[in-house]
């Protein structure tokens, strides 16, 4: 398969987590995002949660004004957040499941089980010219449901793969590969993310047709030691080994 550029979206949520821990005005989320862009990131991802535990409304507005690349807004299918997205007009939104007690997003969105609740918001976002992505497990029914509601993009949940021991990942890797192939046949853009770091990243390089990886926690954690630009550059360098997967 011909080599393809694998793009990186850096999630800067946990820069805001550090700020919110002390109620200060630093570290600056916008400054962190601009450092990611300067290092070569292809876009910036933030999750505006209903509980506002890290990213705040003002962050999204400021990022929309400051970014030179793409803004990807992760969000629940919440009427309030949908209206914010339509007003701010990010380049992309990614609908994710959200529970107040979780430490981070746990598993993919049940598109197949909530298809009617999702159809209207997806139609509105599509009509506004915002690329709509669904954060889902690599399940054929979920991918088919994304096609049914005309979501043009999915983000495959890689967290299950990453949480498994290295010698027990083969089955989950095959699920990711099958899911990417199915989405590609349906004309759906394939992104991926959750739990990826420099150690496990190459394990998903057999997954074909991937366009963008959205990675946050591991990059921000690495940045504590080496700085944001160096952490982003290290991830980008690791991603150059992707040759398009196994079609």
What is the set of active-site residues? 47, 74, 194
Q: Say how far apart CA 160 and CA 222 lie, in whole Å.
A: 22
- Cα–Cα distances (Å) from 243 to 34, 43, 188, 193, 247, in that order, read 28, 21, 20, 18, 11
In the chain, what is the straight-line distance between the N-terminal and C-terminal CA atoms, in Å?
A: 7
Nearest in space to 142 (alpha carbons), one of 176, 93, 100, 193: 176
b/e map 56-94, b = 16+ CB within 10 Å: beebbeebeeebebbbbbbbbbbeebbebbbebebbbbb
27: preceding bond cis by omega (within 30 degrees) = yes
State both tokens at 93. Answer: 């939104």
């Amino acid at each position: 398969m011909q080599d393809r550029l694998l793009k990186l979206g850096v999630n800067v949520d946990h820069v805001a987590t550090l700020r919110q821990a002390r109620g200060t005005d630093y570290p600056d989320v916008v400054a962190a995002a601009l450092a990611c862009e300067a290092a070569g990131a292809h876009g910036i991802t933030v999750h505006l949660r209903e509980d506002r535990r890290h990213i705040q409304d003002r962050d999204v507005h400021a990022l929309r004004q400051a970014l030179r690349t793409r803004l990807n807004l992760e969000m629940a299918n919440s009427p309030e957040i949908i209206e914010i997205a339509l007003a701010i007009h990010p380049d992309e939104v990614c609908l994710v499941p959200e529970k107040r007690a979780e430490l981070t997003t746990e598993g993919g969105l049940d598109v197949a089980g909530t298809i009617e609740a999702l159809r209207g918001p997806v139609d509105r976002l599509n009509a506004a010219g915002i690329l709509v992505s669904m954060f889902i497990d690599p399940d054929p029914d979920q991918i088919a449901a994304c096609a049914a509601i005309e979501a043009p993009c999915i983000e495959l949940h890689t967290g299950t793969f990453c949480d498994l021991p290295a010698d027990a990942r083969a089955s989950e890797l095959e699920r990711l590969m099958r899911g990417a192939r199915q989405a590609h046949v349906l004309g759906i853009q394939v992104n991926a993310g959750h739990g990826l770091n420099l150690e496990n990243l190459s394990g998903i390089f057999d997954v074909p047709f991937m366009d963008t990886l959205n990675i946050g926690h591991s990059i921000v954690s690495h940045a504590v030691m080496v700085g944001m630009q160096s952490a982003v550059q290290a991830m980008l360098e690791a991603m150059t080994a992707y040759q398009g997967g196994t079609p």
